[in-house]
Amino acid sequence: MKNRRNFLKRSAAGLGFISLPFLSKKTSASEMKIVLQNSYIHHVYFWLKEPKSKEACQRFEEGLQLLVTIPEIKLYHIGKAVLSNRDVVDDSFTYSYMAVFNSKADQDNYQVHPTHLKFIEKYGDLWEKVIVYDAL
């Protein structure tokens, strides 16, 4: 048990150290690239059926929080569309979800993970459209 506690303490300290660049306003793009280099990016855009429904949004966000517990996910970001008057910006989606994996194999495991399948089954009735962009 003592070894497990030490491991958890060291892991937490390491995560704190690793996350410092993300929290600093002085983080440069080149520092971020080091973290994401050679990673598999899975970016999903959702258009909810009722994007103005507070209940639907809360329920969907609950589902996303469940989804990000899948162990293969290295980093993730959940966001909402930002309205823009720029022609090159597509702000028509409701939610953006990005998951970063160490490899395509990890992403493949994520696709068949019971939590991912549960997310689709339990929350799939909330969206009318989904677009996925995957990149290395």
- The pLDDT tens digits of the residues spanning 6-61 come to 544 454 444 444 444 555 567 666 666 666 778 999 999 999 999 999 999 999 99
How many angstroms separate the CA atoms of 19 and 23, rounded?
7
How many angstroms separate the CA atoms of 39 and 76, rounded?
12
3-state secondary structure of 75: strand
Q: What is the pLDDT of residue 18?
A: 47
Residue 125 has pLDDT above 60, yes or no: yes
Hey, what amino acid is at 94? T
How many angstroms separate the CA atoms of 100 and 70, rounded?
11
Contact call for residues 29 and 79 (beta carbons, < 8 A): no
How many angstroms separate the CA atoms of 94 and 1, rounded?
45
CATH of domain 38-135: 3.30.70.100
Domain boundaries, the chain: 1-36, 38-135
Tell me the whole-structure pTM to 2 decimals. Answer: 0.77
pLDDT band at 84 (very low <50, low <70, confident <90, very high): very high
